[in-house]
Structure 1
C-alpha cells in the first residue's frame, strides 16, 4: 500500500499514475476505521481506477476540546485494515501542519442555511471546519468521485452544496448507513462506549424505527413529544435534539407535504459521548 504523510509527495504520485480517462475515488475519514468506512472504500475500489483514503482528525470542526482530545486515533490498526482490504489503496495521513501550513483556522462558508440547522445549532462553527477541510482535501487529491456515509446526512448535503457553489467537478456519492448487530449506527465514537453502553444505545435506532411507523398517521408535534418523553424516561441517555426535517433544505417540518421527502435526525449523549443517527421517513 502507498502511504503519504505530505501533500507534495501525494500530488506527485497521483500525477504519475493519472491517465487521460482514469478516475480517482476518494474517501475522507478521521480514522478509527470500522466496517462502514470499509464499505465506502470498497465501493470506491469497485467504481474507480484508483482510490485514495485520507485519515486526518481535523481540529477545526471540533467545538469541544475534550471531544477532540479523546477522539480515537488508531493509525497502525487502520493501516492494517486497509492493507487487508486492498493493497492498492493510496493512504494520505497528513499532519495538521501539512494540511493547514501551520495555521489551523477554519474559513467562513455560506451553505445557504443548511449549516444553521441541527448540528450547526449545537456545534457552533462545526460546518466551517468541515467545509474548510473537505475543500482543502479536494484541492489536494482532485478526485473524480468522493464517498460519504448517510449517517452524517447534514454533512453530506453541505458537501454537495459546497461543491456546487465552488463549481468543483466532483461527484459526491452518498452511501447507506452501516449498522452494528443491534442496529446502532457505526461510528468511530462507538469505541469509547462500554459494552453495556453500546448495547443500550440500540434504543436510538429502535426509537427512530417507531418514529417511522408513526409518521404516516401522527403529527410532527405529537411524534416529537413522544420522543422527548421516551428519552426523559431513560436515564442512560441525554437527548440533545430530535428533528423531522425536509431532506433538501433541512428545515424542520411543521406540516407534512406529500411532495417532499423527510428525515428524522437525532443526537444523543451517552456518558458524555455524542452519537447521531438518521432515518428516511418516506
Structure 2
C-alpha cells in the first residue's frame, strides 16, 4: 500500500479543515482528489508530505508513519505544490543540477528527467523565460529527480492553456504507469482524463470514493429539465425513481434517477399534470460532474 490515511483531522484554531478523513491508495494507482476550493485538499497533501502536522489521526506513505519517519518518507515522495516554487533566475538545467545535489542523485538522472518531461528544447533557457506549461514541466522534473515511488501533485494544471493542459495530462498519465500518483484538483475533466479513481472531499469530509469505470457503469441517469414556472422542491419529489433533485438556477432542474428506464416521459407527464410547460428536457449521462454537483451541493 502506497498511501494510507486513518482518521486524519486538522484544526486551525476553532476551524476544522479536515474531519476524520480515511482512505488508502495502492501502488500504481492514479487517484484524483477532487473538491471545491477550501474543501481541505491542499491541507491533506501538506500533511502527507510533512509540511503540516495532523491534529488527529495517522498518515502512512510506503507503509511508514509520516509522523515517525518523515525524513525517510520524503525520500520516497515527489511533490509538486499548488504554487510551483522555482528559482526563476536560474537556467532549467542549472536548477535541476542544484536539486540533484540536495537529493544526492547522479547527474545522469538530470538528462533522464529532462527527456521524460519534454524539456530538451528549453533546457538551456532561464526559467523566467518559460511559459506556464514549461514551468510546470520543470516542477514535475524536479519532483521526479530522485525517482520517487509516490507522486503528490497539488493542482498541477492550474492556469494552463488548452494545449498545455493536454501535454501535462499526457505526461502525468505516462509517469503514472510505474508510480503511485495522488492528484489534487477541482477540475472534473482533469480526473476523467488522467485518473483511475476519484476521491471527493467536501467541507473536510470524504463524500465519495469510486473507480471511474464504476461511476460510468452505474444504473443511474440524469435528466435536465427547464419548466416555464417555479415549483417547490417537495412537489418534484413525486416523480417515480427520483433520488436527487437539484435546482440549477431559475426554473431549471437536474434530476437523478436510480433506473435505466428513460424517465423523460415521466418528467413530461409530471409537468402536464401540474400545469407546467417543459422548455428543455434532455437526458444526460451520469458522470463525474453530476456526482460532484450532487455531493457538494453547488
Using structure 2 for the length normalisation, give the TM-score.
0.27
Of structures 1 and 2, the one scoring higher in RCO (CA 8 A, sep 6+) is 2
Using structure 1 for the length normalisation, give the TM-score.
0.28
Structure with the higher fraction of residues in strand conformation: 2
Which entry has the higher C-alpha Rg, 1 or 2? 2
Structure with the higher fraction of residues in helix conformation: 1
